[in-house]
């Protein structure tokens, strides 16, 4: 039935010329009693494109695939055969499908190629960047270490009974010329007045995750650098020279010398550096007496990294 309607619609008009697709669709729309605005609302085709189709203004239509889709939708809505209408539209329109041009296979102009000198310069820059990254990862660009002074313990000064020794001022150098921490350790607890064993092992304990760096300031060599996880400990080795501590959160690190707990090295968010990890230097830092005996000290096995931790060390 639809093909018969299309044949009747394509019949010549009174002038003897066959109807164009635009006129054919306009007659079918008028026969259905619809306005172009109604058709635009039903088909969701923009009104300007429907007007261009009826006016046979193909130059105002989009590319051929979209125009064919609009024509088919229009024909289907007014009861015509969309394929037959689309075939006649192809025969009438000047729109052509887009044909991609083949890629050019011509050789590149030598004048557009980089010169040999530029290519070598680019390679040199790339090698320099890779080498610089490697040196940075190896710690070559770390700040130059300062010579470490030998800490000499001064004779302890007896303090009145029931009082704690006075703490060193903030930023003041410790005994022996060794630089002190960034912050003052604050008042000493009553239990901290215990004498420090002169030969006891120095052990760091992490109450929370904390980044630490333990290194020899005279050579710049690192004994450990990385994250100490909560609950881990690090026995400071005695065969790596005089080691120094740098930490980002001093207040979460506990220090014991031969099992004797020392006062905090700083506040929970204080950064410290230059803390010498030897019994003598730590005792002088807190003005604590030193004893030569290690009786009763907790035995701690030396380890190369914090116990129970998987530190990220470089």
Asked if residue 172 has pLDDT above 80, the reply is: no
Sequential DSSP letters for 240-284 = S-S-EEEES-GGGEEEEETTEEPPPSS-TT--EEEEE-SHHHHHH
Parse the chain into domains and list their residue ranges.
2-92, 175-291
pLDDT, tens digit, 9 for 90 and up, residues 238-290: 888 899 999 988 888 999 988 889 899 888 888 989 899 898 888 888 888 98
CATH topology assigned to domain 2-92: 434 Repressor (Amino-terminal Domain) (1.10.260)
pLDDT, tens digit, 9 for 90 and up, residues 58-98: 888 999 899 899 999 999 999 999 999 999 999 888 887 76
Kindly list the distances between the CA atom of residue 73 and the CA atoms of 11, 22, 24, 93, 239, in Å, as whole numbers in the listed order: 22, 13, 14, 17, 88
């Amino acid at each position: 039935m639809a093909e018969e309607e299309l044949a009747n619609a394509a019949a010549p008009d009174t002038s003897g010329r066959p109807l164009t697709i635009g006129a054919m669709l306009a007659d079918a729309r008028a026969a259905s009693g619809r306005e172009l605005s109604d058709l635009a609302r039903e088909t969701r085709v923009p009104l300007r494109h429907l007007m261009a189709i009826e006016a046979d203004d193909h130059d105002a239509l989009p590319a051929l695939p979209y125009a064919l889709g609009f024509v088919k939708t229009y024909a289907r809505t007014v009861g015509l055969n969309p394929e037959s209408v689309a075939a006649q539209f192809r025969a009438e329109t000047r729109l052509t499908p887009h044909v991609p041009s083949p890629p050019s296979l011509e050789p590149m102009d030598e004048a557009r190629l980089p010169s040999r000198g530029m290519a070598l310069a680019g390679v040199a820059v790339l090698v320099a960047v890779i080498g610089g990254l490697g040196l940075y990862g190896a710690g070559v660009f770390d700040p130059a270490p300062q010579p470490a002074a030998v800490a000499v313990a001064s004779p302890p000064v007896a303090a009145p009974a029931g009082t704690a020794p006075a703490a060193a001022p903030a930023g003041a150098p410790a005994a022996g010329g060794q630089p002190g921490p960034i912050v003052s350790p604050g008042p000493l607890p009553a239990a901290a007045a215990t004498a420090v064993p002169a030969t006891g092992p120095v052990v760091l304990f992490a109450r929370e995750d904390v980044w630490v760096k333990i290194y020899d300031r005279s050579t710049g060599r690192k004994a450990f650098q990385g994250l100490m996880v909560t609950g881990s400990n690090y026995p400071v080795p005695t065969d790596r020279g005089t080691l120094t501590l740098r930490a980002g959160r001093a207040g979460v690190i506990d220090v014991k010398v031969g099992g004797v707990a020392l006062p905090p090295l700083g506040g929970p968010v204080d950064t410290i550096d230059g803390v010498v990890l030897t019994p003598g230097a730590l005792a002088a830092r807190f003005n604590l007496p030193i004893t030569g005996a290690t009786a009763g000290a907790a035995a701690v096995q030396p380890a190369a990294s914090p116990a129970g931790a998987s530190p990220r060390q470089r």
